[in-house]
Structure 1
Amino acid sequence: MASDVEQFDYVIVGAGAAGCVLANRLSEDASVTVCVLESGPPDRNPFIHIPAGFIKTLFDPGVTWQFKTEPTQNTGGRAIATTQGRTLGGSSSINGLIYNRGQPDDLNGWAQRGNRGWGYADMLPYFLRTERRIGFGEAGIRGREGKLPVTDMDWFHPLSEAFIASAIAAGIPRNPDYNSGDQAGVGYYQRLIEKGRRVSAARAFLKPVMDRRNLEVRTHARAEAVLLEGKRAVGIRYRHDVDRGAAPRVVRARREVILSAGTVNTARLLQVSGIGPAELLGEIGVPVLHELPGVGANFRDHYAVRFVMRAKPGVKSLNELSRGLNLGAQIARWALRKPSILATSPSHVHVFWNGANDPKAPPDVQCVFTPGSYAEGKVYVLDDYPGVTAGAWQHRPQSHGHVKARSADVFVDPSINPNYLSDPLDWPVLLGGMKLIRGLLHRPEIGAYLDGESLPGDAVQGEDELRDYARRNGSTTYHLIGTAKMGPASDPMAVVDDTLCVHGLAGLRVADASIMPAMVSANTYATTLAIAEKAADMVRGRAPASMAA
């Protein structure tokens, strides 16, 4: 297949969630050739495959992009680490293992913005195609034949049960399936864990087809530019990721180039390729080949604020279970494929509810609970003392910011600014979520196990104090979206149309979380997989999936 100028029918940039799905679906057609360029290494790091190992990979630059946001007033002048996966599977190889579709009106809102075929009824077949639900789920709503196993929690802790009891006593119903289209309620998260191992997009979609003769996956291949001939994308220039001195290489696409590099890297790659806002391109010294002011704009993320409670003497939380002989026992259970803390997601219990505590209104906040206490200022690092942690974030933040390349050199990190809490409409919802989660932690159902609040502490009570605490202690949920927004040509900030083709260019599509025009009421992974499934159908010219398919 090699030649002086290598050619494939399709060139996919990025082997993250979307890229793995696309590689699988497009290479089903033996008459076409597919090349996938992944900047990171193969997913051989053993901590990728142990669910609890995410805390090791999250801080490992060998398998992650160690991005940070710009410091802002609403983050107390802090730069916030917003790590993304950089290996086969992308962020699905390092994330919190949660499967969450969100609410039907998320997608209906996309369609109402002029994106034909993107409503909930249109997208449900793609969710069904993706998942293999193991456990309770209504036929026609949950998939049973897909490649991605979605399982239920099998390791339970009395603190989690007590927290659920607190929510139920507060009037929040137990929900047996928050992915049914009716999200409101409390219960255990559904996870992407099977037989004690993480199931990433690479494991579910890419690894089973790596031996296809028409598919080539290249790791350590950092894309430097989308190559244009006039107004048509014809290929990718890339360089060996761990050797900046290596000569660049070119791979051409006979049919299409598909960008699935993730919300930050897709925007940055378009910009350094001369596709984006003219003013920014001028600042970084890149000739304007195709002006699109929306590239890098509309950037959004969920901003989470957490509360930490101490446990009473004698109450064992994850803190003790993760150390010494207790940890040894858990490792032994995991090795025997028995339920253990090593095979759990970091967030155990969910609450989807309305921050104004209006049971008739749809949920506008997501709350998470873990039977372990995290250290102040250290995301997912367990503290020295036993306790519990609960956090809350707004489902659909209005605040939005940007991703901007700082240089034409893709080895220079871009400027990343979600502008957290800059829209005044976001504050009442977040404060409502904070009050909700705090109220649940102080109820008697769980109070029998707890011995006071360590974060933010009893002294923080009024709204001004809660705002200050949110600014100083809130953090990312790693749910980055929106920098290549989908929308009609009448929207001057839209980057792709409803077929995911870049406005004004031929042969170039974007298929990842960057195309989301607005945030979903969920962790973003499940929706990204569905986007990729739909994109594969559109690339192949197949009719949209239907419930009868």
Structure 2
Amino acid sequence: MSQEPFDYIIVGAGTAGCLLANRLSADPQVRVLLLEAGKPDTYPWIHIPVGYLYCIGNPRADWMYRTEADVGLNGRSLIYPRGKTLGGCSSINGMIYMRGQARDYDNWARLTGEPAWSWQNALEDFKAHEDHYRLDDGADPSTGHNSRFSDTHGHGGEWRIEKQRLRWDVLDSFADAAEQYGIDKTDDFNSGDNSGVGYFDVNQRSGWRWNASKAFLRPARSRKNLTVWTDAQVERLTFERTAEGRIRCSGVHVCRERTSVQVDARREVVLSAGAVNTPQILQLSGVGPAGLLKSHGIDVVLDAPGVGENLQDHLQIRTVFKVRHTPTLNMLLHSVFGKMKIGLQYALTRSGPMSMSPSQLGAFTRSDPGRAHANLEYHIQPLSLEAFGEPLHDFPAITVSVCNLNPSSRGHIRIRSADFRDRPAITLNYLATEDDRKVAAESLRQVRQIMAQPAMQRFEPEEYKPGVQFQSEEELAQLAGDIATTIFHPVGTAKMGTVEDAHAVVDPQLRVKGVSGLRVVDASIMPEITSGNTNAPTLMIAEKAAAWIRADAVARAS
């Protein structure tokens, strides 16, 4: 069964795919098809900020992946949430708006030889879709009112960024303690240098989650040239030989309503399925390491050894401290009255715990003074639990999570069979390098030093996890493997690079090397992970790619 051809087929209606659908369908002369394996984002818990608790681990919105047992985690396997609904991961993530550091993008420019990826050039793409609350009242350079923020932020775009609608005494005191330790306070993590401690800005609008579907797809759905299919999972890409003998991606086979449908693309197929599903689709289609493909009986279209390799993620080490003389979410949610109060506060004011992101307070600093840049990110929460998905502890406590922003460990994504319905094997290889283990131990020591500062002592903090009995670097690195978990930032599995880089999957303008008509636009193209949360960088990548795709179309027409 085949369909009338489209000009562009976008695979994946997540963060990048929704923006691309908006930008490409703005040209009424082209037909755009957006494919999403999940359902529409009508599940109510997607839109209530605290609803991530009910979306992660729920097949209604999550692919329900797990990692392979990891030696670095002492044999543990982790849940690995990936959004499976319109909006993708932006529908289930922590809503934190974080670009990373200027050096991340300057390094991408160096690695790829493409100046467009530098911080100064990427900044315009970040600003293009921003609607930042700090500029709601305008910017007046003559008075300096908000002018500092107008240099680095945008206003009037689709992507709403707001201040959090709650605060906690214990978090304010942690910020004071961090300052006493030597971490300056900051009111903006997104200026290019995110060093400092402060509350995260979030992707919300008036206390509701603001996902990519609402921001970019909803305004474009009325366009007659945009078609959106949900419950439509791609089986594989299709290819043809051009008259010049080149390989061209001509379309996709997609499973829709239990029927395999072939859809052709006149111009381009764009993979925006994410750092797990994009390499899986490429491998299922015959683009990947030849040995892996042959072992599953897949004909090799293009031997591309980098597909699925270079997997990077931020591993967060979750420390827990019991506290006294202050409320935490643990106790509020163990009380019927507390739950009623929280629900009423959100219903009346769209504020309070139901409006909060998983982490409210953040900090960026160095694990040791010899580091040139901040290489640690803290997520501090007024709650605690043994593991994600388990009940909160029945004692007042806070969680101080810390992650290595620039891990040197690398993993991979590999298909298990030629069946598109089989989940891929996700191998992270966390803490596989000596430097990653060293940073893990240093970060645990730093957490203890911050908690020992005077500002925290009125809460009488008591280390519950990992426990004060563990002191040596070897013990702390081992303990990190026991208590650490993913912060859900997989990137790099279809990295961009130069023509000479044999393991680069895409060129600097995100075209798959060796194949025409095929581009990758999502977090998988990052050659190295950004120094922070990865949703905002993915939007920037999509903004830049949309401009390149449109420019290529103009060049072909002329």
Is the contact between residue 440 and residue 477 of structure 2 (CA under 8 Å) also seen in structure 1?
no
User: Structure 1, residues 292-347: CA drift from partner, whole Å, max 9, x if none?
Assistant: 111001111111101101122x4210112234111211211211234211111111
Cα–Cα, structure 1 residues 542 and 166, in superposed 2: closer, same or farther, change >3 Å? farther
> Is structure 2 residue 282 aligned with structure 1 residue 274?
no
TM superposition shift of 1:5:
2.9
Matched letter for residue 88 of structure 1: L
> Is structure 2 residue 148 aligned with structure 1 residue 149?
no
Aligned mates of 1:285, 1:210 — CA distance in 2: 40
> Is structure 2 residue 243 aligned with structure 1 residue 233?
no
Equivalent residue, structure 2, for 1:82? 80
- 3-state SS of the aligned residue for 1:388? strand
Cα–Cα, structure 1 residues 65 and 338, in superposed 2: closer, same or farther, change >3 Å? closer
Aligned counterpart in structure 1 of residue 36 of structure 2, from 35, 38, 56: 38
Aligned mates of 2:193, 2:462 — CA distance in 1: 34
Is the contact between residue 208 and residue 350 of structure 2 (CA under 8 Å) also seen in structure 1?
no
Equivalent residue, structure 2, for 1:67? 65
Equivalent residue, structure 1, for 2:196? 185
> Is structure 2 residue 466 aligned with structure 1 residue 468?
no
TM superposition shift of 1:476:
0.5
Aligned mates of 1:4, 1:356 — CA distance in 2: 59
Is the contact between residue 451 and residue 461 of structure 2 (CA under 8 Å) also seen in structure 1?
no
Is the contact between residue 405 and residue 530 of structure 2 (CA under 8 Å) also seen in structure 1?
yes
Aligned mates of 1:524, 1:125 — CA distance in 2: 17
Aligned counterpart in structure 1 of residue 273 of structure 2, from 261, 269, 288: 261
User: Structure 1, residues 150-199: CA drift from partner, whole Å, max 9, x if none?
Assistant: 11122111001110110111111101111011211100001111111000
Aligned counterpart in structure 2 of residue 389 of structure 1, from 399, 421, 429: 399
Is the contact between residue 298 and residue 402 of structure 1 (CA under 8 Å) also seen in structure 2?
yes
TM superposition shift of 1:139:
1.5
Is the contact between residue 326 and residue 459 of structure 2 (CA under 8 Å) also seen in structure 1?
yes
Cα–Cα, structure 1 residues 404 and 338, in superposed 2: closer, same or farther, change >3 Å? closer
Is the contact between residue 55 and residue 381 of structure 1 (CA under 8 Å) also seen in structure 2?
no
Aligned mates of 1:125, 1:222 — CA distance in 2: 34
Is the contact between residue 34 and residue 229 of structure 2 (CA under 8 Å) also seen in structure 1?
yes
TM superposition shift of 1:543:
12
TM superposition shift of 1:451:
4.1
- 3-state SS of the aligned residue for 1:62? coil
User: Structure 1, residues 438-482: CA drift from partner, whole Å, max 9, x if none?
Assistant: 221232311211341110112122211111111111111100000
Q: Superposed, which structure 2 residues align to 1:430-449 within 5 Å?
A: 430-449=440-459
Aligned counterpart in structure 1 of residue 512 of structure 2, from 492, 496, 502: 502
Equivalent residue, structure 2, for 1:125? 124
Residue-pair matches, total: 535
TM superposition shift of 1:418:
1.5
User: Structure 1, residues 69-108: CA drift from partner, whole Å, max 9, x if none?
Assistant: 1112211101111110000000000001100001000011
- 3-state SS of the aligned residue for 1:11? strand
Higher helix share: 2
Aligned mates of 1:146, 1:543 — CA distance in 2: 24
Equivalent residue, structure 2, for 1:194? 205
Equivalent residue, structure 2, for 1:427? 437
TM superposition shift of 1:357:
4.0
Equivalent residue, structure 1, for 2:108? 110
TM superposition shift of 1:434:
2.0
Aligned mates of 2:332, 2:22 — CA distance in 1: 39
User: Structure 1, residues 94-151: CA drift from partner, whole Å, max 9, x if none?
Assistant: 0011000010000111111124121111211000012111026621211112111111
- 3-state SS of the aligned residue for 2:191? coil
Equivalent residue, structure 1, for 2:410? 400
Aligned counterpart in structure 1 of residue 224 of structure 2, from 213, 216, 229: 213
TM superposition shift of 1:431:
2.2
Bigger Cα displacement from structure 2, 450-459 vs 392-401:
450-459
- 3-state SS of the aligned residue for 1:403? strand
Equivalent residue, structure 2, for 1:547? none
Task: Report % sequence identity.
Answer: 39
Matched letter for residue 124 of structure 2: P
Aligned mates of 1:414, 1:435 — CA distance in 2: 36
- Gaps of at least 5 residues in structure 2 are 135-145, 242-246
Equivalent residue, structure 2, for 1:167? 178
- 3-state SS of the aligned residue for 1:190? coil
User: Structure 1, residues 214-246: CA drift from partner, whole Å, max 9, x if none?
Assistant: 001100000000100120001010103xx6xx2
Equivalent residue, structure 2, for 1:527? 537
Cα–Cα, structure 1 residues 57 and 450, in superposed 2: closer, same or farther, change >3 Å? farther
- 3-state SS of the aligned residue for 1:237? strand
Equivalent residue, structure 2, for 1:305? 317
Aligned counterpart in structure 2 of residue 454 of structure 1, from 459, 464, 471: 464
Equivalent residue, structure 2, for 1:292? 304
- 3-state SS of the aligned residue for 1:205? helix
Cα–Cα, structure 1 residues 105 and 408, in superposed 2: closer, same or farther, change >3 Å? same
Is the contact between residue 70 and residue 428 of structure 2 (CA under 8 Å) also seen in structure 1?
no
TM superposition shift of 1:528:
0.2
TM superposition shift of 1:380:
7.4
TM superposition shift of 1:6:
2.3
Matched letter for residue 281 of structure 2: L
- Gaps of at least 5 residues in structure 1 are 545-549
Q: Superposed, which structure 2 residues align to 1:245-260 within 5 Å?
A: 246-260=258-272
User: Structure 1, residues 258-282: CA drift from partner, whole Å, max 9, x if none?
Assistant: 0000001000000000011000001
Is the contact between residue 354 and residue 362 of structure 1 (CA under 8 Å) also seen in structure 2?
yes
Stretches of 4+ aligned residues off by more than 6 angstroms: none
Matched letter for residue 431 of structure 2: L
Q: Superposed, which structure 2 residues align to 1:400-419 within 5 Å?
A: 400-419=410-429
Cα–Cα, structure 1 residues 401 and 130, in superposed 2: closer, same or farther, change >3 Å? same
- 3-state SS of the aligned residue for 1:475? strand
Is the contact between residue 303 and residue 394 of structure 1 (CA under 8 Å) also seen in structure 2?
yes
Is the contact between residue 111 and residue 118 of structure 1 (CA under 8 Å) also seen in structure 2?
yes
> Is structure 2 residue 381 aligned with structure 1 residue 367?
no
User: Structure 1, residues 21-46: CA drift from partner, whole Å, max 9, x if none?
Assistant: 00000000011010001000000111
Cα–Cα, structure 1 residues 119 and 543, in superposed 2: closer, same or farther, change >3 Å? farther
Equivalent residue, structure 1, for 2:488? 478
Aligned mates of 1:447, 1:41 — CA distance in 2: 48
